[in-house]
Amino acid sequence: MTVITSLPDAVALVVQDGDTVAFEGFTHLIPFAAGHEVIRQGRRDLTLVRMTPDVIYDQLIGAGCARRLVFSWGGNPGVGSLHRFRDAVQHGWPAPLEIEENSHAVMANRYVAAASGLPFAVLRGAVGTDLPAHSDSIRPITCPFTGEELTAVPALRLDAAVVHAQRADREGNVQLWGITGVQKEAVLSATRSLVTVEEIVPVLEPVPGAVVLPSWVVDCVALAPGGAHPSYADGYSVRDNAFYQEWDAISRDRATFGEWLRELQR
Amino acid sequence: MTVITSLPDAVALVVQDGDTVAFEGFTHLIPFAAGHEVIRQGRRDLTLVRMTPDVIYDQLIGAGCARRLVFSWGGNPGVGSLHRFRDAVQHGWPAPLEIEENSHAVMANRYVAAASGLPFAVLRGAVGTDLPAHSDSIRPITCPFTGEELTAVPALRLDAAVVHAQRADREGNVQLWGITGVQKEAVLSATRSLVTVEEIVPVLEPVPGAVVLPSWVVDCVALAPGGAHPSYADGYSVRDNAFYQEWDAISRDRATFGEWLRELQR
Amino acid sequence: MNYSADEMMTVAAARALRDRAVCFVGIGIPSTAANLARRTHAPGLVLIYESGCIGAKPTSLPLSIGDGELASSADAVVSVPEIFNYWLQPGRVDVGFLSAAQLDRRGNINTTVIGPYASPEVRLPGAGGAPEIASGCRSVVVVVRQSLKTFVDGLDFVTSAAAPRMVITDLGVLEPSPSGELVMTSLHPGVSAADARAATGWDLAMADDLGVTSPPSPHELDVLRSLTHR
Amino acid sequence: MNYSADEMMTVAAARALRDRAVCFVGIGIPSTAANLARRTHAPGLVLIYESGCIGAKPTSLPLSIGDGELASSADAVVSVPEIFNYWLQPGRVDVGFLSAAQLDRRGNINTTVIGPYASPEVRLPGAGGAPEIASGCRSVVVVVRQSLKTFVDGLDFVTSAAAPRMVITDLGVLEPSPSGELVMTSLHPGVSAADARAATGWDLAMADDLGVTSPPSPHELDVLRSLTHR
């Protein structure tokens, strides 16, 4: 049964020190407000999982919440580099960051395996690349029918998944639409899940392209209007492309990032 | 590029003697009109593939179109047995029918593998049952990460897939909604595909829960209003439960079935 | 109030479902029982049909698992591969409701053939979702009429290794003993142990604390009849 | 009409796409080129973005692959696992458009690190969809500025084994010889073979029939500028 509570309480319930946690959202519906609350609550030693660790993970990494990053593309989309991510990888600041690096297809299938209750998934992936040499998550597997060699990847099981959605009803059924990414898979891969929403409504009227997560797979719902900013929520807000560009300057050096962080924690 | 043509021309283009062909639709949107056209055109030696070979396959089997059946549940839903299917299996009438029998989960994953361009899929399936002893399609596979033993099933590649949908646009983009079953997977598993539709419209307005098949994966579209009868098309017709019940009497003996068949072929 | 043996069976099956349980339902008596439960003691019961309907709330009993109202009343409708892979397989479903043509003393199920597989006396529909409902759900309840035809000493074909926590029949309720063999734990009113043994193809054991099933309440019967007579 | 080297590169990349091709597009110059093609000679071009948008028809250039207009203008929006498994992996896509931080003489691509993997000089974004775009599409076109920094004799990391049928740069066009080594087959107007060799970290071969790229037409430039200046 879903607990509907405040964002601070929900984050405290769902995200714990040392967790393997995914904040998902493929450009759209990124749960920034929940990420900021994790920073405020001072979580540490997180293994952060995300296909595209963009600005939200730059912030969590810069704030020292992360010990490890599992990902497939770490950049500021349409802008450039993630400076806090680079500083952590290149100089160990504010703390060393272990990385486990995959391709998008590998990551997506690792979520699919976990959501499906399987220990692994099969794909044609990463062939001819240096990725397998630097990852324990890519192994060959032979088709028992054709003898063909393919790629096996292990399930990406999560302690916690955090996603943002347009809305929930009072039972905790969740509805999201537009680009829905791997959010369903992330929630179904997790022991605990938190969904922040733009609004809570009496009835979820059907919407074209919507994914519905029934309440019995959602642990916590928290109202967080605008909680995807600077990402967006289709039908509620537009992407704040200017902020993504400003982030390049904010994050470029440790001092200006420090000011941003103090402002957030005030 | 999709060819939009008459039902007889479309069936002639897509379904050929000896084909492995799936007519899919999970209770909803079953392409009966296309099946009847296959009977009229006298196709032979088909390997018929379908999770739930209900009345549509009873008709194709009774008419002598099939050599082989790949399936997971062969009954008249809510009514009882498929008498033509039973007569073929038990007495070889009108022709012997080879069967390859799976569970629903095995069939669904065999379609998924084919749609994904993989030679096999992995699931927890058919464990502890007699199904593997009577099928070449269920083999053990070991997880390369955990050592756990799971079930591998081979891709179900089709020569042809036939489905019914609510509508298409003039480019051949197809839209279906309601219970959408494994229709997307069947079309993506096939070399050739035919979609019969209730109507052809200028623009496919978005509908909640709709699956869209882009025109570049659809070979033929044919207008066939009511083409799912006695199954139904959500938003266009309701299931003719009375016909499913009547079919029990029509199909029970060879003579009354023969009358039905002559009527169809007139 | 008079009631039939099938009504007793359906009511007993409905009672096996606790409120807010997530239940994977097949068509026939399991679907009737689940919908009865949802209208009596278990309004929060979540019904999942293998057609892809999650949280279906039909107002009348569906004839098929793909009836339109299952989709239109559902919280979510997903593809058939998804219902098996994301929802059933990982063990998210509390109860799987199955029926059977044959059942053995350990609760294994046959819905495939009577007689030899290659030349069957009766060709039955086959497995459908049953093998993975049996292995994927946290618990399995089988609902089946008890007779020498169904309760057999050896199955002609093992379609599902069900290992049910409960088998509910028109005569009573069976549950597995610690050894895994089904034991009669309750008899419906008016049914004797001899009746149950006479309808069972193996030497059926009775539980030490063999009980008598509470008869259907007037409310249960009213709701059941309003469902089935609609 | 004056034009920049980047404009020439983008126009040449757009021309590499035939009408009605199905094209898997990344953000940046590949997306600009694909949208330019759709507005000029290839109105039936099908654009697929890894965010799950199939048949996107954006009216302005997206800043990210997840911009709202990609979804709202698409024929279909599917999940990220589905876009990779059902649409890219089986070879349904004609052309994959990639960029690179480093490219070697066989067209392998690095977008992962400059320097050693464990202690990189520059940590780049990583693989994203590129390895499977490279292996899953029927053909690959790489669009990248040509310089000693990008055209290197050995990659610091092989992110994608791209084997492109064409590499389009700000200096010209390269295509693989029968041996698989990239050879310059066309130079953009005003670029000499020496210029191209000076921007290449290996001994770059020129094709026997080395041509000169047609300059951007006024129409191509107009449409390109209306896209990028919006």
CB distance from A122 to chain B under 8 Å?
Answer: yes
Cβ <8 Å between C66 and B124: no
CB distance from D86 to chain B under 8 Å?
Answer: yes
Do A116 and A23 share a structural domain? Answer: no
| SS3 (DSSP) at B158 | strand
Helices and strands per DSSP (H, E), number in chain C: 7, 14
User: By C-alpha distance, which of B99, B31, B26 is closest to B61?
Assistant: B99
Query: Other C-beta atoms within 10 Å of B17: how many?
Result: 12
Do A109 and A171 share a structural domain? Answer: no
Reported as half-sphere exposure (CB side, CA atoms, 13 A), residue B63 has a value of 26
Confirm whether D121 is a catalytic residue: no
Tens digits of residue pLDDT in B180-236:
999 999 999 999 999 999 999 999 999 999 999 999 999 999 999 999 999 999 999
| pLDDT at residue D228 in the model | 87
CB D42 within 8 A of CB D20: yes
| pLDDT at residue D64 in the model | 76
| pLDDT at residue D16 in the model | 96
Q: Which of B89, B128, B130 sits opposite C123 (nearest CB)?
A: B89
Q: At what angle do helices A32-40 and A7-14 cross, to 10 degrees?
A: 70
Cis peptide before B94 (omega within 30 of 0): yes
C133 located within any domain: yes
Residue range C129-135: mean pLDDT, rounded: 95
Q: How far is B201 from chain D (nearest CA, A)?
A: 15
Residue range B91-103: mean pLDDT, rounded: 96
**Which range (A72-81, A205-214, B255-264, D142-151) has the least confidence?**
A72-81
For testing contact with chain D, the best of B109, B116, B180 (most D CBs within 10 A): B116
Tens digits of residue pLDDT in B116-170:
999 999 999 888 999 999 999 999 999 999 999 999 999 999 999 999 999 999 9
d(CA A37, CA A48): 15
Cis peptide before A94 (omega within 30 of 0): yes
Do A84 and A130 share a structural domain? Answer: no
Do A247 and A232 share a structural domain? Answer: yes
**Hunting for tokens 């979520």 — which residue is that?**
A111
| pLDDT at residue C230 in the model | 57
Q: What is the 3-state secondary structure (H, E, C) of D57-109?
A: CCCCCCCCCCCHHHHHCCCEECCHHHHHHHHHCCCCCCEEEECCCEECCCCCE
pLDDT(B77) > 90: no
CB distance from B61 to chain D under 8 Å?
Answer: no
User: By C-alpha distance, which of C202, B245, D106, D85 is closest to A151?
Assistant: D85
Torsion of CA A33, A36, A41, A43, to 10 degrees: 120
Do B191 and B162 share a structural domain? Answer: yes
Do A93 and A162 share a structural domain? Answer: yes
CB distance from A101 to chain D under 8 Å?
Answer: yes
Q: Which residues contact B175 (CB under 8 A, 6 or more apart)?
A: B165, B166, B167, B168, B204, B207, B210, B211, B212, B213
Do A86 and A23 share a structural domain? Answer: yes
d(CA B121, CA A111): 16
Query: Other C-beta atoms within 10 Å of C5: how many?
Result: 15
d(CA B264, CA A232): 56
Cβ <8 Å between A184 and C55: no
Longest Cα separation, chain C: 49
CB distance from B217 to chain A under 8 Å?
Answer: no
Tens digits of residue pLDDT in B24-73:
999 999 999 999 999 999 999 999 999 999 999 999 999 999 999 999 99
CB D133 within 8 A of CB D98: yes
**Hunting for tokens 């000011």 — which residue is that?**
A259
d(CA A82, CA A222): 28
pLDDT(C1) > 90: no
CB distance from A122 to chain C under 8 Å?
Answer: no
Last residue of a domain, one of A89, A124, A154: A154
Tell me which residue range forms the domain holding C182: 5-223
Subunits adjacent to chain D (3 or more Cβ pairs under 8 Å): A, B
| pLDDT at residue A31 in the model | 98
Q: How far is B235 from chain C (nearest CA, A)?
A: 9
D78 located within any domain: yes
Do A62 and A23 share a structural domain? Answer: yes
Cβ <8 Å between B122 and A117: no
Amino acid at B107: M
| pLDDT at residue A77 in the model | 87
Q: How many domains does chain D have?
A: 1
Q: Which residue has the higher pLDDT, B51 or C28?
A: B51
Query: Other C-beta atoms within 10 Å of A219: how many?
Result: 22
pLDDT(D59) > 70: yes
Q: How far is A99 from chain D (nearest CA, A)?
A: 10
Query: What are the DSSP calls for C129-198, one per residue?
Result: THHHHHHHSSEEEEE---STTTB-SS-SS--B----SEEE-SSEEEEE-TTS-EEEEEE-TT--HHHHHH
C213 located within any domain: yes
pTM: 0.97
Do A187 and A259 share a structural domain? Answer: yes
Q: How many domains does chain A have?
A: 2
Residue range A21-42: mean pLDDT, rounded: 97
Tens digits of residue pLDDT in A157-207:
999 999 999 999 999 999 999 999 999 999 999 999 999 999 999 999 999
Query: Other C-beta atoms within 10 Å of B264: how many?
Result: 13
Q: How far is B247 from chain A (nearest CA, A)?
A: 36
DSSP A155: -
C153 located within any domain: yes
pLDDT interval class at D230 (50, 70, 90): low
Interface of D with A in 32-71 (CB under 8 A): 50-53, 62-68, 70-71
DSSP B227: T
| pLDDT at residue C62 in the model | 81
For testing contact with chain B, the best of C123, C138, C156, C159 (most B CBs within 10 A): C123
CB distance from B217 to chain D under 8 Å?
Answer: yes
Do B135 and B215 share a structural domain? Answer: no
For testing contact with chain B, the best of D75, D79, D87, D89 (most B CBs within 10 A): D75
pLDDT(D30) > 90: no
Residues of chain B in contact with residue D46, where contact means CB-CB under 8 angstroms, are: 214, 216
Query: Other C-beta atoms within 10 Å of C176: how many?
Result: 18
Q: Which of C50, C82, C121, C132 is catalytic?
A: C50
**CATH number of the domain encompassing residue B41:** 3.40.1080.10
CB distance from A140 to chain B under 8 Å?
Answer: yes
pLDDT(B1) > 90: no
d(CA A52, CA C31): 44
D166 located within any domain: yes
| pLDDT at residue C206 in the model | 98
C228 located within any domain: no
Tens digits of residue pLDDT in C109-127:
999 999 999 999 999 999 9
DSSP B2: -
D230 located within any domain: no
Beta bridge partners of A122: A152
Query: Other C-beta atoms within 10 Å of B93: how many?
Result: 16
**CATH number of the domain encompassing residue D123:** 3.40.1080.10
Cβ <8 Å between B150 and A210: no
| SS3 (DSSP) at C106 | coil
CB D89 within 8 A of CB D136: yes
D19 located within any domain: yes
Neighbour-count burial for C197-213, b at 16+ CB within 10 Å, e otherwise: bebbbeebbeeeebeeb
Tell me which residue range forms the domain holding B66: 3-102+157-264
pLDDT(B253) > 60: yes
Do B7 and B134 share a structural domain? Answer: no
